[in-house]
Amino acid sequence: MRRARTGGDDRKILRQDGNLFQRSGEGHEKIGTIKFNANLKQKTQVGIIGAGPAGLTLALLLHRATIDCVILEYRSREYVESRVRAGLLEQNTVDLLHELGVANRLNKEGLRHRGVYLSFDEQRIRIPFDELTGGRCITIYGQQEVLKDQVQACIEKGIEILFEAEVTEINGVATNSSSLVYRQNDEQHVLSCDFVAGCDGFHGIARTSLPNNIYNEFRKDYPFSWLGILAHAKPSSDELVYAYHQRGFALHSLRSETVSRLYIQVDNDDRLENWSDDKIWNELSLRLQTEGFHLNTGAIFEKAITPMRSFMIDNLQYGRLFLAGDAAHIVPPTGGKGLNLAVADIKWLAGALIHFYKHNKEDQLQGYTANALRRVWRAQDFSNFMTYLFHKQAAHGSFEYNLQKSKFDYIRLSKAYATTIAENYVGLKDI
Ligand code: FAD
Ligand code: DHB
């Protein structure tokens, strides 16, 4: 753990006339003027930075409670809707998308899985979620499909999303007059708001705008990465397969009856140029091998290497600025928790904002960090556990290897241990 190092800008105040002041000594010094564009909305109740799963879910929940909000998104709509990322939705996430009325396509195209396969040294077992968790399941549906459905719903409901609008400053969140300065079409604009929701991902501006002494930062970088592909190949298994192999980890997932999503463990300094399509298929085939298994191959149409890290901060609030999703925490992808955690944060945050507007009480907003972090820590532990269980960390036959193997054997033996994995994997209900 180490103290965060970045500095905040809560000393800046934007006045209604567009003049920007900075606190200096006892008074305020004018440091600039910002042009207002009369065609754009200049005031809202909640200013949301980022149109990822966190920002879009928040907007839909607030709109349902008649709270006004505007989403400012740095990227274009096309970019947001085509960026390939997660695919595993927990039961809680699916339930919320249903509740918000954005699950029509998910109902038709999402693939419900009642179990998962785990392999170790070419031995495979199945964890039956429905049996171990009272009927709970996961659903496979690509993140970009969730986003397409949510963007469409926002537009239909009249929720304003400004694409290609980069937030460059967050001002006044320690006071009651917050504002966001953003650039769109080479022009600078400002949006005044009661609250700011930092849903802007790991590289966004919200976390780096927090003062340097209000939170602790935790970070773990793993000594391996994932090479992920999407391929026009019929899935080789009806359920996901997580595999430890002495050549390294492999994961078989899918997106539809004709598209497979597959991952392999690679070194952190490895590069895509080192991986021809044939080499990837060959490696997947070796690592996923078990008796009777045949890997279907096909044309690869997406290839990327992603580093693995655990990261989080322990305070998600500064005055009227609240952080949610990847802006506040990253988990290694083993277990598919990233998107689901972002949505879980938002449930707490939306509930607290709605409570504030209804009852004029801040108690739930003040409890947001503690409420959200309970689940985040649980997911950090589970993602770290799954990562260490299935990745090659040291030589085959080493102490680490034997601990991994012993855990795997124990899952086979113990219904209690298998249940622990199942309930964390489908997503805990009451946390
Ligand atoms: P994001 O989805 O990152 O959205 C943040 C948005 O904010 C972005 O659209 C960004 O453009 C915007 N933004 C940033 N800065 C600004 C600014 N200054 N002004 C305006 N807008 C801004 N999770 C899994 O569960 N399984 C996976 O397989 C998986 N694979 C992944 C692969 C990659 C390459 C990455 C990066 C992540 C992956 N994740 C995966 C994690 C998962 O996709 C994230 O946890 C999820 O997207 C988090 O949602 P979010 O809304 O918090 O942030
Ligand atoms: C997927 C990604 C994951 O990280 C995971 O654990 C399971 C599935 C996927 O992209 O389908």
pLDDT in tens, 4-25: 333 345 556 666 566 777 777 6
What is the pLDDT, as a whole number, of residue 334?
96
Q: Residue 431's pLDDT is what?
A: 78
Smallest-distance ligand from the CA of 90: 1
**Rounded CA separation 288/183 (Å):** 47
Which of the four pLDDT bands, split at 50, 70 and 90, describes residue 30? Answer: confident
87 DSSP assignment: -
Tell me the pLDDT band of 35, cut-offs 50, 70 and 90.
Answer: low
What ligand has the least distance to the C-alpha of 252? 2
pLDDT given at position 9: 52
Q: Is the pLDDT confidence value at 275 over 70?
A: yes
User: Mean per-residue pLDDT for 357-368?
Assistant: 97
* Cα 74 to ligand 2 centre (Å): 26
142 within ligand 2 shell (Cβ under 6 A): no
- The number of angstroms, rounded, from the C-alpha of 361 to the middle of its chain's C-alpha atoms is 29
99-129 per-position pLDDT tens digit: 999 999 999 999 999 999 999 999 999 999 9
Residue 38's pLDDT is 60
**Mean of the pLDDT values across residues 302-330?**
97
Residue 382 has pLDDT above 70, yes or no: yes
Residue 26: pLDDT band (50, 70, 90) is low
Tell whether the model's pLDDT for residue 72 goes beyond 90: yes
**Helix (H) or strand (E) run with residue 231 in it:** strand 216-232
Ligand 2 lined by 324 (C-beta under 6 Å): no
| Distance in angstroms (rounded) separating the CA atoms of residues 164 and 285 | 41
| pLDDT at residue 149 is higher than 80 | yes
pTM summary value: 0.92
User: For a pLDDT cut of 70, what percent of the chain falls above it?
Assistant: 93
Our answer on whether the CB atom of 338 is closer than 6 Å to any ligand 2 atom is no
> Using 50, 70 and 90 to split pLDDT, how confident is the model at 214?
very high
Q: Which of 6-20, 49-63, 310-324, 397-411 has the lowest mean pLDDT?
A: 6-20
Binding site membership of 88 for ligand 2 (Cβ less than 6 Å)? yes
Ligand with smallest separation from the Cα of 382: 2
- Note the pLDDT tens digit of each residue in 223-256: 999 999 999 999 999 999 999 999 999 999 999 9
Which position has the higher pLDDT, 423 or 14? 423
- Using the predicted structure, report yes or no on whether residue 132 has a pLDDT greater than 60: yes
CA dihedral 418, 424, 426, 431 (to 10 degrees): 140
Nearest to 406 by CA among 419, 424, 388: 388
Residues tagged active-site: 113, 242, 333, 337, 425
Please say if the pLDDT value at position 370 is more than 60: yes
CA of 342 to the centre of ligand 1 (A): 9
| Pocket, ligand 1, Cβ cutoff 6 A | 49-55, 72-75, 80, 85-86, 88, 143, 166-167, 199-201, 204-205, 306, 325-327, 333, 336-339, 342
* CA pair distance 206, 149, nearest whole angstrom: 25
What integer pLDDT is reported at residue 255 of this predicted model? 92
Average pLDDT, the chain: 93
The rounded distance, in Å, linking the Cα atoms of 217 and 71 is: 27
Confidence of residue 2 (pLDDT cuts 50, 70, 90): very low
Measure Cα distances from 99 to 94, 351, 429 in Å.
9, 14, 16
Please tell me if the CB atom of residue 316 comes closer than 6 angstroms to any atom of ligand 2: no
Nearest ligand to the CA atom of 139:
2
Question: What are the structure tokens assigned to 342, written together?
Answer: 């972002």
| Mean per-residue pLDDT, 183-204 | 96
Q: Does the beta carbon of 179 lie inside 6 Å of ligand 2?
A: no
Smallest CA separation from ligand 1 atom 27, residue: 86
Residue in 281, 282, 336, 272 with CA at minimum distance from that of residue 305: 272
| Residues contacting residue 362 through CB under 8 Å, at least 6 positions apart | 356
What pLDDT sits at residue 1?
A: 47
Mutate which of 240, 260, 326 for ligand 2 pocket (most atoms within 8 A of beta carbon): 240
* Cα 180 to ligand 2 centroid, rounded to whole Å: 34
